[in-house]
């Protein structure tokens, strides 16, 4: 794999830490700022909605810029946003800073996915996307556990200062390793890009992404309270358990990329089905310490096994000019799922059956995504069949015309 992919992974690492580390610090943030745990959980929803808003806006605003310039600018926005988080005096200022930080997220992964696929052979595109997203998974193995420990030891603000430093390092790595000649964005008009988003397969792909990740974040947002209040672990044990989750993320991400390179739709359907099954089984597993740790790892693997096929499906459905726009929208779709999932988990706690019911409620979302993807596959197969019949009819008419004297 080209070394530039590892530079993209470095940027993904920084973004991954700032997105996920707040989940291990919900108790500290809620206590320090005087808000409930569910209100603290909305900081995750706010970040996700910032990605949803920022992805199309910044992708459109930076159209025609060299892709390397776009990536470097986004890392500066990311770094400044984390400094603002560290300095936030109250809950709403922290929320605003999280949204600002999130604006860099969607466009970075959207443009980065196009850059990654352009660096490798056609049969390695999903693996290239997986390698870039490995930065997110490594963030969960190293960054999030360390950030959780740092926040518990020195206060949650220290974690955001550390993440801002990671942003500066990622900026330097991208500046040195990503080739400057890789990337003037070739896009059509805004109307063309919006028309690409209107294609049925693109819309179905985006909707599938949202549903799949509603389930992931409905559970993951509240993983710390589940582990401490249901499974019975101490707060200090949360960080090592998140390390297990991170190992699962790396494995699932790389496996999902390899499988998607071989057969895209079977990889997508299989990963969504696995995610739904694991989430449902965790309803029981969280009541036993050993089973809970095992299923945390399986949860991570199943969750990120869906990422390369979901991203690749949208890229293939978009084709040509407008790929970066569609790719950024799919990153926005992931984060819309994150936002809705965090809200859903909070609703289950505050108004539903409670914390212990989150896993089985979460499982319903990827199961719905599986059914939607299966339906999409059948529609696509039917469309190809009709197109083939039409081509045969056209050929028969042409042959008949040629036989006429």
pLDDT-derived band at 371 (thresholds 50, 70, 90) equals very high
Mean pLDDT, the chain, whole residue set: 83
Residues 53-78 pLDDT 10s: 887 788 777 777 888 888 889 899 99
Are residues 73 and 62 in contact, defined by beta-carbon separation less than 8 angstroms? yes
Are residues 23 and 223 in contact, defined by beta-carbon separation less than 8 angstroms? yes
Report whether pLDDT(183) > 50.
no
**pLDDT winner (highest mean) among 20-34, 78-92, 121-135:** 78-92
Question: pLDDT value at position 360?
Answer: 94
Rg (CA), the chain: 22
Residues 137-157 pLDDT 10s: 788 778 877 888 888 888 889
Integer Cα distance of 193 and 321 in angstroms: 8
Integer Cα distance of 78 and 85 in angstroms: 11
Tokens of 337: 């799922």
Question: pLDDT value at position 386?
Answer: 55
% of the chain surpassing 90 pLDDT: 26
- Return the higher-pLDDT residue of 209 and 315: 209
Residues 215-234 pLDDT 10s: 998 998 888 899 999 998 98
Determine which helix (DSSP H) or strand (DSSP E) holds 287, and give its type and residue range: none
Integer Cα distance of 41 and 25 in angstroms: 10
Neighbours of 240 (CB within 10 A): 13
Q: Which residue has the tokens 């409620």?
A: 361
Tokens of 132: 């870039």
The closest of 374, 364, 368 to 266, measured between CA atoms, is 374
Integer Cα distance of 319 and 201 in angstroms: 11
Residues 95-115 pLDDT 10s: 999 988 888 887 888 888 878
Report whether pLDDT(128) > 90.
no
Integer Cα distance of 366 and 219 in angstroms: 12
Listed range (17-31, 135-149, 178-192) with the worst mean pLDDT: 178-192
pLDDT-derived band at 182 (thresholds 50, 70, 90) equals very low
- What's the whole-number mean pLDDT along residues 23-42? 84
The closest of 145, 53, 130 to 301, measured between CA atoms, is 130
- What's the whole-number mean pLDDT along residues 318-336? 75
pTM listed for this prediction: 0.74
Are residues 260 and 308 in contact, defined by beta-carbon separation less than 8 angstroms? yes
CA 62 remoteness from chain centre = 21
Report whether pLDDT(404) > 70.
no
Q: Which residue has the tokens 């610090």?
A: 25
Integer Cα distance of 153 and 235 in angstroms: 12
Q: Which residue has the tokens 């580390």?
A: 21
Integer Cα distance of 188 and 173 in angstroms: 30
């Amino acid at each position: 794999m080209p070394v530039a992919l590892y530079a993209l992974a470095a940027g993904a690492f920084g973004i991954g830490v700032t997105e996920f580390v707040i989940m291990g610090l919900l108790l500290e943030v809620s206590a320090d700022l005087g808000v409930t745990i569910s209100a603290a959980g909305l900081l995750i929803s706010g970040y996700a909605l910032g990605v949803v808003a920022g992805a199309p806006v910044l992708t459109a605003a930076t159209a025609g810029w060299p892709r390397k310039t776009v990536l470097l600018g986004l890392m500066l926005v990311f770094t400044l946003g984390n400094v603002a988080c560290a300095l936030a005096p109250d809950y709403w200022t922290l929320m605003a800073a999280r949204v600002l930080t999130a604006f860099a997220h969607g466009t970075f992964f959207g443009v980065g996915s196009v850059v990654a696929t352009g660096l490798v052979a056609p049969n390695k595109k999903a693996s290239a996307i997986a390698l870039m997203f490995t930065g997110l998974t490594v963030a969960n193995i190293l960054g999030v556990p360390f950030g959780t420990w740092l926040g518990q030891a020195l206060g949650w603000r220290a974690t955001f200062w550390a993440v801002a430093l990671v942003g500066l390092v990622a900026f330097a790595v991208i500046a040195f390793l990503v080739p400057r000649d890789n990337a003037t964005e070739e896009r059509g008009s805004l109307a063309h890009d919006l028309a690409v988003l209107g294609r049925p397969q693109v819309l179905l792909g985006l909707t599938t992404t949202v549903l799949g990740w509603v389930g992931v974040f409905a559970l993951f947002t509240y993983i710390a309270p589940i582990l401490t209040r249901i499974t019975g672990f101490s707060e200090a044990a949360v960080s090592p358990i998140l390390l297990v989750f991170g190992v699962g993320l790396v494995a699932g991400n790389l496996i999902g990329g390899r499988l998607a390179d071989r057969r895209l739709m079977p990889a997508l359907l299989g990963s969504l089905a696995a995610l739904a099954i694991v989430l449902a089984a965790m309803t029981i597993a969280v009541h036993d310490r050993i089973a809970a740790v095992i299923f945390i790892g399986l949860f991570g693997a199943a969750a990120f096994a869906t990422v390369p096929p979901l991203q690749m499906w949208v890229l293939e459905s978009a084709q040509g000019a407008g790929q970066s726009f569609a790719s950024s929208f799919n990153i926005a779709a992931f984060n819309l799922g994150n936002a809705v999932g965090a809200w859903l988990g909070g609703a289950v706690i505050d108004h539903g059956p409670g914390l212990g019911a989150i896993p089985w409620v979460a499982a319903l979302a990827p199961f719905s995504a599986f059914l939607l993807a299966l339906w999409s596959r059948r529609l696509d197969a039917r469309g190809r069949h009709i197109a083939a019949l039409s081509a045969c009819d056209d050929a028969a008419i042409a042959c008949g015309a040629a036989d006429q004297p």
